[in-house]
Amino acid sequence: MAVTEETLASHTGSGSVEVFSTPNLVLLMEEAAMDALRPFLEPGETSVGTLVNIRHLAPTPPGMIVTATARLSQVDGRRLVFQVEAGDGIDRVGEGTHERCVVLTERFILRSREKSTRKNTSSVE
């Protein structure tokens, strides 16, 4: 991912400095895990992110490229755990774990739509 104005912490609202933002680092790591998993999904399956636990280790200024890799480290049924890391060619920018769950796409979408028809009785403050 190219570090552009749109990917800076100052632009995404995750900070005030002009360096690669943590939300974009998380996105890049999730994309690496999805790319690693995609060839193994059956037709009608997709994966959804369920946990992200990363450390943002070093700043990356505009104009650089950040790359991420994901290595499958654990399988527990449909739950998959990936070791993820990212670098900018000079520093290790981030590292951690990312969990994804394999789901049936249509069933997942139906469940989500069904939720919108229920009355929200909880409040988050």
Q: Name the residue ranges covered by the structural domains of the chain.
A: 5-113
| Residue 99 token pair | 């969990």
CATH superfamily of 5-113: Hotdog Thioesterase (3.10.129.10)
- pLDDT attached to residue 118: 80
125 annotated active-site: no
| Residue 80 token pair | 């998959």
Q: Is the pTM of this model over 0.95?
A: no
Residue 81 near residue 97 (C-beta atoms within 8 A): yes
56 annotated active-site: yes
Backbone φ and ψ of 21, nearest 5°: -80, 150
For the stretch 35-75, pLDDT in tens is 999 999 999 999 999 999 999 999 999 999 999 999 999 99
In the structure, how many helices (H) and strands (E) does the chain have? 3, 4
22 annotated active-site: yes
Rounded mean pLDDT, 6-20: 97
| Max intra-chain CA distance, the chain | 51
Rounded mean pLDDT, 93-112: 97
Annotated catalytic residue: which of 22, 46, 69, 97?
Answer: 22
Integer-rounded Cα Rg, in Å, for the chain is: 17
